């Protein structure tokens, strides 16, 4: 994840509290979604950014996950995400992000 | 799901971009605190 994004997210977590943040990813494949989710839940695995060794345990979802899609008006979703929902490997991506979410401290 | 939350829309250039995620969230009544589009290499 970009170092700049890590800094901004850390600042938001400090400001509002990690439990108030909800991160939605738009990664194109399971691998990049997993790395982004890992960074947000367990800390930066590359130890390069502000989230290195910082376990924020953030709520993180991918925009293609059903749980999220259900919240969004269908016409808007179709217009903004549309064809990408058909092109990308939705199930793999969703599984990767869900698995990482379940590793959040206290997720039980 | 979005109620009372500060949402971070972390899009990617080759996937779904930040502003697209932002529009989805806002249309559902969510508050987007940060929107970004990354380039994963």
The residues spanned by each domain of chain B are 6-38
Domain ranges of chain A: 3-101
Which 3 state secondary structure label does DSSP give A25?
Answer: strand
Q: CA dist A38 to A18, A48, A65, A101, Å?
A: 15, 14, 17, 8
Q: Which of A97, A6, A11 is nearest to A48 (CA)?
A: A6
pLDDT in tens, B18-41: 999 999 999 999 999 999 999 866
Q: At CB < 8 Å, which residues of chain A contact B?
A: 1-2, 4-5, 8-9, 12, 16, 20-29, 32, 35-36, 59, 63-64, 67-68, 71-73, 76-77, 79-81, 84, 88
ipTM: 0.95
* pLDDT tens figures, A14-34: 999 999 999 999 999 999 999
Contact at CB, A8 and B40, closer than 8 angstroms: no
Place of tokens 């979604």: A33
């Amino acid at each position: 994840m970009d170092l700049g994004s890590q800094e901004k997210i850390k600042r938001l977590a400090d400001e509002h509290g990690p439990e108030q943040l909800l991160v939605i990813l738009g990664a194109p494949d399971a691998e990049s979604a997993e790395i982004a989710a890992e960074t947000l839940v367990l800390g930066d695995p590359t130890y390069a950014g502000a989230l290195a060794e910082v376990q924020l345990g953030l709520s993180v979802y991918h925009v293609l996950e059903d749980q999220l899609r259900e919240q969004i008006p269908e016409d808007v979703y179709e217009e903004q995400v549309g064809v990408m929902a058909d092109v990308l490997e939705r199930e793999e991506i969703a599984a990767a992000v869900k698995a990482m979410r379940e590793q959040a401290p206290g997720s039980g | 799901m979005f109620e009372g939350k500060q949402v971070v829309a972390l899009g990617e250039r080759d996937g779904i971009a930040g502003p697209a995620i932002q529009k989805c969230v806002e249309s559902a009544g969510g508050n987007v605190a940060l929107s970004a589009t990354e380039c994963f290499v």
